[in-house]
Amino acid sequence: MSESPQSAVSLSTDDYRRLRRATETHREELVVRLAGEVGLRPAEVVRVRPSDATTHRRNGVDHHLLCVPNGDGDTARRAYLPADVEHDLRQYARTAGVAADDPLVDVSARRVQMLVSEVADRAADRAGDPRLREASSQTLRAFFARRLLVDEGVDPRVVASVGGWSSLASLDQYLGDTDPEPEAVADAFAPTALAPPDATAATATSSGPRFEAVFDRARAVADALDAASTREEVESRVCETLVEDGAYAAAWVGASRGEAVDVAAAADAGAPDGVGDGAVAAALRTERVHTTGDVGADAEFAAWREHAERAGYRAAAAVPVVDGETTYGVLGVGADVGEFGERERALLADLGRRVGRALTVVEQRKLLLADTVVEVAFETDAGRSFFARAAAEHGCELELDGVVPGEDQSLLYFVTLRGAAAGDVLSWATDESAVDDARLVRDYGDEALLEVVLSGPDVAKALTERGATVRELVADADGQRVVGEVPADADVRALADDLAGAFPGVELVSKRERERSGETRGAFRASLHESLTDKQAAVLQAAYHAGYFEWPRGSTAEELADAIGITSPTLHNHLRRAQQKLLTAFFEDDDPTLDAESPWPDR
């Protein structure tokens, strides 16, 4: 999954200064700076130790980096640490007596979110600007990204790496104006190797003009994907769009069918024969873009040579089409001349992920509306799967109530806990690298409802990433059982092999085809899902499972917004619109058999 939508509050540099001035303790200011200037999430802030700050000398200048630890204490990524933030970090550690390997901010991730909220309230009161009251840790990360991308012009790939974003697409929301004037585009590319050597020397072999055409087509692909409703439409529209205006001479999509790759769609020039080996196999194996400037001389692209002569291209690229853990196949493109520069390869890699995400969406939609589905059940022991390990560690039982997509490819699970103290399980879970956040929603005495934001490995999460819908999850001391649904034409054996590779010991224990009920409830849910946006559906489902609609409420709007990764105003906006669509679908009278005087039939 990509980063959550941009916060409703967009902080300016002056707004950020107001937040810093509203801090009342050294710890509060450090928390704000680690989020707003280093890009840390709350769960990362509480893991940082003084020893994680390192210094690297480059061209006679000392640069500070922060080795951001995961829950196991290993380095998840390296963030850039501005010199004055590094000074504040060291000073706070000395003043507070924090040992080198102890947590710098020894509180929970939830408490970090509350600290930021308290600072935001103070800043709003002092500045007389109620807008600042909605600032959150997510808002600070948005400020961090926007400042680097827009104000400082840092390479988006570097921003994604130091900030922990999973893809370049996750940064789109922070880029501001995505349709700059021609002069701004020319100025941006002038100092690069993609531009012609002077104003009159744009030659036919220069990749600069091609990159601009490809960049334009990549944006057009994004629009085309939004309108596609089937896998076939996604694949064909990608190919057709990429060859428009001469961006590429050829484009085709190959679908993975077990060990083989079959051509699923192609533009007018068709596709090469026998594409399962060489560059295509390498792209699928490594999940990296493979390119060549000369198909005729590159052994990896030997299978493409005859097609290249027919279609009139010399350079070519094989692009993996992936979404999370799911590999759908490969996108092949051919260009008349010129090498593929680093930026074009990065653009193609991101395009492959966008196509993969679109394929996941249409597969899930097909599953939702299908009359026949295949129900699959998997079992595994503690191993790498999070919920199995949690149950084994505490001798308890965990049962799924519901699951909702969160930010950064995470999933928001609501699980019922039995047989262990909620505090013990939550304390253990928040130290796990697989968990971004966890909290108690409601304690019923003999059982408790927990909310767990999971970004690490679990069999249920892996099934969801591979296009399945998880219906049941139960984990106890003996292991974990997950039941999901996949489309009737899904390759269940390939799915099972894929899961076994990711989770040694996982076993497919049952597989059965069943008819979906044709009852009104199913039709109602399907029609409602079609009218809701993905975010509205996610927010409505999360609110339901978190007890937001109960009395007294099991979760506040602020808690729910923080868990999903959006601000409270954004949550209320999505929730109100979703509720309106729900009520409209429920009360709208399309049945002429109902009594005209009453919305309810006699019973």
- Asked whether residue 397 carries a pLDDT value surpassing 90, the answer given is yes
* pLDDT: which is higher, 377 or 73: 377
Q: How far apart are CA 235 and CA 433, in angstroms?
A: 36
User: Measured between alpha carbons, how far is residue 209 from residues 27, 170, 442 in Å?
Assistant: 51, 26, 59
Whole-number pLDDT of residue 202: 35
CA atoms within 13 A on the CB side of 191: 3
SS3 468: coil
**466 — pLDDT class (breaks 50, 70, 90):** confident
Q: How far apart are CA 525 and CA 357, in angstroms?
A: 23
Whole-number pLDDT of residue 66: 92
Q: How far apart are CA 391 and CA 478, in angstroms?
A: 8
Q: What is the pLDDT of residues 119-148, one digit of tens each?
A: 998 888 888 888 898 899 889 999 999 888
Peptide linkage before 405 cis (omega within 30 of 0): no
**4 — pLDDT class (breaks 50, 70, 90):** very low
Q: What is the pLDDT of residues 252-268, one digit of tens each?
A: 888 877 667 888 888 88
Whole-number pLDDT of residue 227: 67
Whole-number pLDDT of residue 2: 37
Tokens of 373: 């589905």
DSSP structure class, residue 481: E
Give the residue extent of every domain in the chain.
Answer: 13-174, 182-361, 372-585
Full DSSP string of 257-285? ETTEEEEEEE-TT---SS-SSHHHHHHHH
Question: What angle, 0 to 180 degrees and rounded to 10, lies between the N-to-C axes of helices 568-587 and 557-564?
Answer: 100
- Asked whether residue 585 carries a pLDDT value surpassing 70, the answer given is no
Q: How far apart are CA 402 and CA 471, in angstroms?
A: 8
Tokens of 194: 């993609």
Q: What CATH number should be reported for the domain whose range is 13-174?
A: 1.10.443.10
The angle formed by the CA atoms of residues 400, 401 and 404, to the nearest 5 degrees, is 95
**594 — pLDDT class (breaks 50, 70, 90):** very low
Beta-sheet strands, E only, within 181-259: 250-257
Mean per-residue pLDDT for 410-428?
88
Give the other-Cβ count within 10 Å of 564's Cβ.
27
- Site of tokens 């969801």: 464
Nearest to 399 by CA among 375, 381, 417, 386: 417
Q: DSSP H helical segments within 46-155, as ranges?
A: 83-96, 109-127, 137-146
- pTM score of the predicted model: 0.42
Q: What is the pLDDT of residues 325-369, one digit of tens each?
A: 678 888 988 888 777 888 888 888 888 888 888 887 777 666 555
- Asked whether residue 491 carries a pLDDT value surpassing 60, the answer given is yes
Q: How far apart are CA 308 and CA 292, in angstroms?
A: 12
DSSP structure class, residue 4: P
Tokens of 445: 């005495």
Handedness of CA 10, 16, 22, 25 (dihedral sign): positive
Q: How far apart are CA 243 and CA 228, in angstroms?
A: 18
Tokens of 342: 């680093």
Tokens of 486: 């996949």
Q: How far apart are CA 417 and CA 559, in angstroms?
A: 20
- List the single range of 165-169, 193-197, 445-449 with lowest mean pLDDT: 193-197
Homologous superfamily of domain range 182-361 = GAF domain (3.30.450.40)
- Asked whether residue 457 carries a pLDDT value surpassing 70, the answer given is yes
Tokens of 568: 């409270």
Which range has the top average pLDDT, 175-189, 191-205, 370-384, 429-443?
Answer: 429-443
Beta-sheet strands, E only, within 430-522: 435-443, 447-454, 469-476, 479-487, 507-515
